[in-house]
Chains A and B, each alone.
Chain A
Amino acid sequence: MRDYTELRYLQVSGVIDGLRCRACVEVVGSPLSEPFEPSRRVDLQLIIAATAAPDPLPLLALRCRVSHPLEAWLRVTHSKYRETYGLNLTAMASYALDDTGSLTLRTGPETTVPFVYAEIASMPKGLISPFSAEVIRTYDPQKCGLPHWARLKLQCHNELKAYFREHGLLLISDWALLADSSAKRVRESWEVFGGGGFTVEVAAALHAAYKPLYREAMQSYRQATGKASGWQPDAPFLQALAPEQPEARTMEQLEAIAAAIRRLQSGRWQQSSAIDQELAEQVAAPQPDPDPAFEPAELRALIDQALQRAMDAHMPDVVSVEGRQRDLLRCLWAGWAEGLKQRPLAKRCRSSQGTVSKLLKPDQHATTIATAAAVELKRHPAFASCGQSVEAAERLVDALRNHLLEPEREGEVAPLRRWIQQYLSNP
Chain B
Amino acid sequence: MTNAVPIDPLEAFPMPAGAIELDDSTAALSARSLAVAGLQRALRDRKLALPLGPETALGDPQRLLSLNRFGVQLATAGVLADQLVVDAAPWASEATAPQLLLAALVDEENAVVAFPGVLTGAEFIEIARSAERSDQGVLLDPLAFRGGVERLLSLVQLLEPEALPRLSLAPAAQTAAGSVVAVIDWLRGQLDEAFSALGGELTPVAAGAFRSGAVASGAAEQALAMLVIPFGLSGDQLVSGDAARRCVRKFQLALIPTGPDHATHPTGLVVRLSSAVPGALLPDGLQLDARQGSHHQTITSAISTELELVFQASDQLLDVSLRYGESGLVELPSLQLPG
User: In the complex, what's the smallest C-beta–C-beta distance from B260 to chain A, in angstroms?
Assistant: 53
Within 8 A of A (CB), among B79-105: 79-83
Which of the candidate stretches B148-156, B201-209, B216-224, B326-334 sits at the interface with the other chain?
B148-156
Place the interface of chain B in its size category: 35 or more
List A contacts of B80 (CB < 8 A): 172, 176-177, 180-181, 265
Q: Are A180 and B111 in contact (CB under 8 A)?
A: no
Interface string of A156-178 (1 = CB under 8 A from B): 10000100110011111100110
User: In the complex, what's the smallest C-beta–C-beta distance from A338 to chain B, in angstroms?
Assistant: 23
From A179, A227, A314, A393, give the contact of B155 (CB < 8 A).
Answer: A393
List A contacts of B110 (CB < 8 A): 161, 165, 170-172, 229
Which of the candidate stretches A125-133, A185-193, A297-305 sits at the interface with the other chain?
A185-193
Which of the candidate stretches B158-166, B169-177, B291-299 sits at the interface with the other chain?
B158-166
User: In the complex, what's the smallest C-beta–C-beta distance from B206 to chain A, in angstroms?
Assistant: 38
Interface string of B24-53 (1 = CB under 8 A from A): 000111100000000000000011000000
Interface string of B1-42 (1 = CB under 8 A from A): 111010111111111011001000001111000000000000
List A contacts of B120 (CB < 8 A): 390
Count CB-based A-B contacts (< 8 Å).
178
A-B residue pairs in contact (CB < 8 Å), sample of 17: A77-B12, A165-B110, A170-B110, A170-B112, A171-B109, A191-B1, A193-B5, A228-B109, A228-B111, A262-B9, A371-B153, A374-B157, A378-B158, A390-B155, A390-B163, A393-B155, A396-B158
Whether, in the assembled complex, B77 has its beta carbon less than 8 Å from a beta carbon of chain A, the answer is yes
From B107, B154, B160, give the contact of A388 (CB < 8 A).
Answer: B160
User: In the complex, what's the smallest C-beta–C-beta distance from B161 to chain A, in angstroms?
Assistant: 10
From B13, B107, B109, B160, give the contact of A387 (CB < 8 A).
Answer: B160
List B contacts of A267 (CB < 8 A): 5, 7
Q: Are A171 and B154 in contact (CB under 8 A)?
A: no
Q: Are B2 and A228 in contact (CB under 8 A)?
A: no
Whether, in the assembled complex, A397 has its beta carbon less than 8 Å from a beta carbon of chain B, the answer is yes
Whether, in the assembled complex, A90 has its beta carbon less than 8 Å from a beta carbon of chain B, the answer is no
* Cα distance, A51 to B28, chains bound together (Å): 34
- Kindly list 15 other residue pairs between chains A and B, CB separation below 8 angstroms, not including A191-B1, A222-B28: A165-B21, A170-B14, A170-B79, A223-B28, A262-B10, A266-B9, A314-B46, A371-B157, A371-B158, A374-B157, A375-B158, A387-B158, A387-B160, A389-B159, A389-B163
Whether, in the assembled complex, B108 has its beta carbon less than 8 Å from a beta carbon of chain A, the answer is yes
User: In the complex, what's the smallest C-beta–C-beta distance from A134 to chain B, in angstroms?
Assistant: 17
* Cα distance, A58 to B285, chains bound together (Å): 65
Whether, in the assembled complex, A70 has its beta carbon less than 8 Å from a beta carbon of chain B, the answer is no
List B contacts of A10 (CB < 8 A): none
Nearest residue (CB) in A for B141 is A182
Q: Are B81 and A364 in contact (CB under 8 A)?
A: no
User: In the complex, what's the smallest C-beta–C-beta distance from A302 to chain B, in angstroms?
Assistant: 16
Main secondary structure of the interface of A (DSSP, over half): helix
Whether, in the assembled complex, A80 has its beta carbon less than 8 Å from a beta carbon of chain B, the answer is yes
The answer to whether A170 and B107 touch (CB under 8 A), given A228-B27, A390-B163, is yes
Nearest residue (CB) in A for B100 is A390
Q: Are A80 and B108 in contact (CB under 8 A)?
A: no
List B contacts of A164 (CB < 8 A): 12
From A81, A200, A375, give the contact of B157 (CB < 8 A).
Answer: A375
* Cα distance, A218 to B112, chains bound together (Å): 17
Place the interface of chain A in its size category: 35 or more
List A contacts of B46 (CB < 8 A): 314, 368
From A176, A259, A378, give the contact of B9 (CB < 8 A).
Answer: A259
Within 8 A of B (CB), among A354-402: 354, 357-358, 361, 364, 367-368, 370-371, 374-375, 378, 386-390, 393-394, 396-397
List B contacts of A192 (CB < 8 A): 3, 5
Of A81, A265, A364, chain B has the most CB atoms within 10 Å of the CB of A364
User: In the complex, what's the smallest C-beta–C-beta distance from A122 to chain B, in angstroms?
Assistant: 26
From B7, B17, B107, B158, give the contact of A266 (CB < 8 A).
Answer: B7
Q: Are A364 and B3 in contact (CB under 8 A)?
A: no
List A contacts of B1 (CB < 8 A): 191, 194, 196, 200
The answer to whether A181 and B82 touch (CB under 8 A), given A226-B28, A393-B158, is yes
Nearest residue (CB) in B for A366 is B150
Whether, in the assembled complex, B283 has its beta carbon less than 8 Å from a beta carbon of chain A, the answer is no
List B contacts of A394 (CB < 8 A): 151, 154-155
List A contacts of B157 (CB < 8 A): 371, 374-375
List B contacts of A273 (CB < 8 A): 14
